Amino acid sequence: MAGTVVIGAGQAASQLVATLRAEGYADPIAVIGDEPYPPYQRPPLSKKFLAGELTEDRLYIKPPEFYEQAGAMLKLGVSAVAVDRAAKTVTLSDGAALGYDSLVFATGSRVRKLTVPGSDLPGIHYLRGIDDVKAIQPHFHAGKRMVVVGGGYIGLETAAVAAKRGLAVTVVEAMERCLQRVTSPLMSAFFQTLHRAEGVVIQTETGVTGFEASPGGGLVVKTTKGEIACDFVVAGIGILPGQELAAACGIVCDNGIVVDEFARTSDPNVYAAGDCANLPSKLMGRRLRLESVHNAIEQAKTAALSIAGKPKAYDDVPWFWSDQYDIKLQIAGLSAPGDTVVVRGDPASRKFAAFYLRDGVVAAVDAVNAAPEYMIGRMMIAQKKAVDPGRLADPATPMKSLMG
Amino acid sequence: MPKVTFIEHSGKEHVVDAAAGLSVMEAAVKNLVPGIDADCGGACACATCHVYVDPAFGAKIPEKSDMEQTMLDFANEVTADSRLSCQIKITPELDGLVVRLPASQH
């Protein structure tokens, strides 16, 4: 038996190995990763790992012995360069070819790169992998001037760690407000106020037009609203699904590798899981691509169950989290412009939640230091629960009683 | 190095060396103890690392945060000894710690 080949060695790949073996799958498993590291957690990269509070080995999802004991071959530091679906083989960058019965794309995503003039100057960084953080860390000292391009979660988490470290931080955001693509004006205002209170400069509606090397060292960031001198730049302007190889071998892709609820692609022997996959969500009422640990884990379990001959449909409420300063933001569901926003608690108290109602039911929740709101909100989304907005907004009404 | 004993729901014991500073969850994952998934990696966001702490050690562990308490409110088979193992930091005083795993995590 040729077994299962997993392209990609991240959160989904690690879970695939665990679930395949737990389900009694006995054929060979090979995991191909282009980074030199065993599967590791990415969320801490822009949080505790950047802050230096976590050593590299603590990022590893499982110790290397786990893969040995599971009889899974980790091929690290090589990339898959071609897939021949007729011959069922994957060709690697080192020239080797691996045969498969089942193939899984767990290729994740890659950062969207800046394209303005000067974007390839030294000192312009991204934050997606361990090596990215290692490249940033030598510059990451009190007194240094950092410009963050992009006020999304990665940019704001990076800004938070830097501000705590004593760097002078400027966040440049092209849109009207930070987090505009992912949350409501209320939450954007909360996070902008939070960062400004910590000394971070936030410039919204500011487009980056180019970079220049400063004669005295460092960089000049040119924007639509003037120039900003700094020592280095971290850009967090989104990610793109890792679909090139799948598309090149004729698998249907459309904002990600298109899969069904069983993680199957357009080829019955090929699966996809995690950031790279575009999945159907009955709960959310549309197709979507999710960039989250939870989705990587659950979709990997789904793919593994399909491969092991025990298919089980996947349709979960998406959830996410972000840590900035002493704030833990927990998010369930996907909010959209036009949702009715119901606020519970006072944002000034740093403990509150924003619920997003669509057609009278809870579609999403953003909870700030408010775990009950998050947990019950997640259940409400799953159950498409109709709620009384007045009672929901009243912190004196216990969350649990709203489920009754 | 402090020792921690994990007892699976089946009764199977795993005695592991756990470096001070790591969490009990990390000690389990590093030593391939089954039943502690820790999906969120220790961010106190998923409640898949639920354990029962031996009552003899309960008083030696700092109290639960509001976040941990709430996550536990929604976990299965919760008792007075329930904790999220990602929130328990290993210290020399916890040498000999015994934790049991719930039936739902196997």
Q: Same domain, yes or no, for A229 and A244?
A: no
Confidence of residue B35 (pLDDT cuts 50, 70, 90): confident
Q: A23: which chain B residues are within 8 Å (Cβ-Cβ)?
A: none
Q: Is the pLDDT of residue A400 over 90?
A: no
With CA atoms as reference, report the closest residue to A148 among A237, A216, A17, A63: A237
Q: Is the pLDDT of residue B44 over 80?
A: no
Query: Does A69 contact B at CB distance below 8 Å?
Result: yes
Q: B29: which chain A residues are within 8 Å (Cβ-Cβ)?
A: 61-63
Last residue of a domain, one of A235, A260, A287: A235
Q: B31: which chain A residues are within 8 Å (Cβ-Cβ)?
A: 63
CA A264 to chain CA centroid, nearest Å: 22
Q: Give phi and psi for A403, each to the nearest 5.
A: -85, -10
Domain that holds residue A332: 326-403
Average pLDDT for A143-155: 98
Q: Same domain, yes or no, for A248 and A301?
A: yes
Among the partner-chain residues B29, B30, B39, the one whose CB lies closest to the CB of A297 is B39
- Alpha-carbon Rg for chain A, nearest whole angstrom, is 22
Query: Are the beta carbons of A63 and B30 separated by less than 8 Å?
Result: yes
Average pLDDT for A389-394: 96
With CA atoms as reference, report the closest residue to A214 among A227, A226, A196, A229: A229
CB A304 within 8 A of CB A354: no
| Ramachandran quadrant class, B55 (left: phi over 0; alpha: psi -120 to 50; beta: rest) | alpha
Average pLDDT for A64-92: 97
| Per-residue model confidence (pLDDT) at position B73 | 87
Query: Are the beta carbons of B70 and A369 separated by less than 8 Å?
Result: no
Query: Are the beta carbons of A375 and B71 separated by less than 8 Å?
Result: yes
Q: What burial class does residue A67 get, using C-beta atoms within 10 Å of its C-beta: 0-12 exposed, 13-18 middle, 19+ buried?
A: buried
Task: Determine, yes or no, domain membership for A313.
Answer: no
| Per-residue model confidence (pLDDT) at position A222 | 98
Question: Cα separation of B51 and B24, whole Å?
Answer: 10
Quick: pLDDT tens for A219-255: 999 999 999 999 999 999 999 999 999 999 999 999 9
- The contact set of B with A (CB < 8 A) is 22, 26, 29-32, 39-41, 43-46, 66-67, 70-71, 73-74
Picking from A326, A375, A399 by the largest number of B CB atoms within 10 A of its own CB, the best residue to mutate is A375
Q: State the ipTM, two decimals.
A: 0.88
Strand partners, A287: A280
Picking from A14, A57, A321 by the largest number of B CB atoms within 10 A of its own CB, the best residue to mutate is A321
With CA atoms as reference, report the closest residue to A365 among A316, A389, A402, A330: A330
Burial letters A297-306, b for 16+ CB under 10 A, else e = bbbbbbbbbb
Q: B44: which chain A residues are within 8 Å (Cβ-Cβ)?
A: 328
Average pLDDT for A335-343: 95
Query: Are the beta carbons of A371 and B43 separated by less than 8 Å?
Result: no
Least confident of A315-324, B43-52, B89-98: B43-52
CB B51 within 8 A of CB B99: yes
Quick: pLDDT tens for B53-85: 999 998 999 999 988 998 898 888 999 999 999
Query: Does A238 contact B at CB distance below 8 Å?
Result: no
Q: B32: which chain A residues are within 8 Å (Cβ-Cβ)?
A: 62-63, 65-66, 69
Average pLDDT for A160-175: 98
Task: Determine, yes or no, domain membership for A358.
Answer: yes
| Per-residue model confidence (pLDDT) at position B34 | 87
Last residue of a domain, one of A218, A235, A252: A235
With CA atoms as reference, report the closest residue to A315 among A355, A284, A272: A284
State the residue for tokens 């120039």.
Answer: A227
Residues in chain B: 106
Picking from B66, B70, B84, B86 by the largest number of A CB atoms within 10 A of its own CB, the best residue to mutate is B70
Confidence of residue B103 (pLDDT cuts 50, 70, 90): confident
Q: A319: which chain B residues are within 8 Å (Cβ-Cβ)?
A: 45
Query: Are the beta carbons of A293 and B32 separated by less than 8 Å?
Result: no
Q: Same domain, yes or no, for A86 and A11?
A: yes
Q: Is the pLDDT of residue A172 over 70?
A: yes
Quote the crossing angle between the two packed helices B66-73 and A371-383, to the nearest 10°: 30
Picking from A330, A351, A368, A401 by the largest number of B CB atoms within 10 A of its own CB, the best residue to mutate is A330
Query: Are the beta carbons of B73 and A375 separated by less than 8 Å?
Result: yes
Q: Same domain, yes or no, for A21 and A60?
A: yes
CB A381 within 8 A of CB A317: yes
Quick: pLDDT tens for A31-75: 999 999 999 999 999 999 999 999 999 999 999 999 999 999 999
Strand A201-203 to A80-84 pairing:
unpaired
Confidence of residue A404 (pLDDT cuts 50, 70, 90): low
Task: Determine, yes or no, domain membership for A195.
Answer: yes
CATH code, A149: 3.50.50.60
The token pair that represents A190 in the structure block: 């909360």
Average pLDDT for B76-97: 94
What is the Cβ-side half-sphere exposure of residue A269, based on CA atoms within 13 angstroms? 16
CB B46 within 8 A of CB B58: no
Q: Same domain, yes or no, for A24 and A172?
A: no
How far is the alpha carbon of A60 from chain B, nearest alpha carbon, in Å? 9
Q: Same domain, yes or no, for A353 and A264?
A: no
User: Which alpha helices (DSSP H) does A104-235 contain, by range?
Assistant: 130-136, 153-165, 185-197
Among the partner-chain residues B41, B45, B73, the one whose CB lies closest to the CB of A330 is B45
Query: Are the beta carbons of B71 and A371 separated by less than 8 Å?
Result: yes
Percentage of chain A modeled with pLDDT above 90: 97
Question: Cα separation of A238 and A179, whole Å?
Answer: 11
State the residue for tokens 């950092």.
Answer: A146
Query: Are the beta carbons of B46 and A375 separated by less than 8 Å?
Result: no
CB A283 within 8 A of CB A317: yes
Last residue of a domain, one of A235, A263, A278: A235
Average pLDDT for A163-179: 98
| Per-residue model confidence (pLDDT) at position B38 | 83
Quick: pLDDT tens for A279-306: 999 999 999 999 999 999 999 999 999 9
All residues at 6 or more sequence positions from A267 whose CB lies less than 8 Å from its CB, including other chains: A85, A250, A251
Percentage of chain B modeled with pLDDT above 70: 98
Residue A113, CA distances (Å) to A44, A117, A121, A132, A239 in order: 21, 12, 12, 13, 9
Q: Same domain, yes or no, for A246 and A106?
A: yes
Question: Cα separation of A233 and A222, whole Å?
Answer: 12
Nearest CA in chain A to B67: A371
Question: Cα separation of A288 and A236, whole Å?
Answer: 21
Picking from B14, B17, B26, B32 by the largest number of A CB atoms within 10 A of its own CB, the best residue to mutate is B32
Task: Determine, yes or no, domain membership for A317.
Answer: no
> Which run of H or of E encompasses B71?
helix B66-73
Percentage of chain B modeled with pLDDT above 90: 69
| Per-residue model confidence (pLDDT) at position B48 | 86
Strand partners, A31: A6, A74
The token pair that represents B60 in the structure block: 């030696």
Cα dihedral A259/A264/A268/A269 (nearest 10): 120
- Average per-residue pLDDT for chain A: 96
The token pair that represents B52 in the structure block: 């029962």
What is the Cβ-side half-sphere exposure of residue A192, based on CA atoms within 13 angstroms? 20
Task: Determine, yes or no, domain membership for A321.
Answer: no
Average pLDDT for A380-391: 94
Domains of chain B as residue ranges with CATH:
3-100 (3.10.20.30)
Q: B71: which chain A residues are within 8 Å (Cβ-Cβ)?
A: 371, 375
Task: Determine, yes or no, domain membership for A29.
Answer: yes
CB A93 within 8 A of CB A257: no
Q: Same domain, yes or no, for A361 and A392?
A: yes
Question: Cα separation of B39 and B64, whole Å?
Answer: 20
Q: Is the pLDDT of residue B106 over 70?
A: no
3-class secondary-structure state, position A203: strand
CB A23 within 8 A of CB A305: yes
Q: Same domain, yes or no, for A71 and A142?
A: no
| Per-residue model confidence (pLDDT) at position A374 | 93
Q: Same domain, yes or no, for A229 and A378?
A: no
| Per-residue model confidence (pLDDT) at position A32 | 98
How far is the alpha carbon of A94 from chain B, nearest alpha carbon, in Å? 31
Task: Determine, yes or no, domain membership for A291.
Answer: yes
Percentage of chain A modeled with pLDDT above 70: 100
Q: Same domain, yes or no, for A10 and A100?
A: yes
Strand B13-17 to A340-344 pairing:
unpaired
CATH code, A330: 3.30.390.30
Task: Determine, yes or no, domain membership for A287.
Answer: yes
Q: Same domain, yes or no, for A80 and A34?
A: yes
CB A365 within 8 A of CB A342: no
The total number of structural domains in chain A stands at: 3
Average pLDDT for A308-329: 95
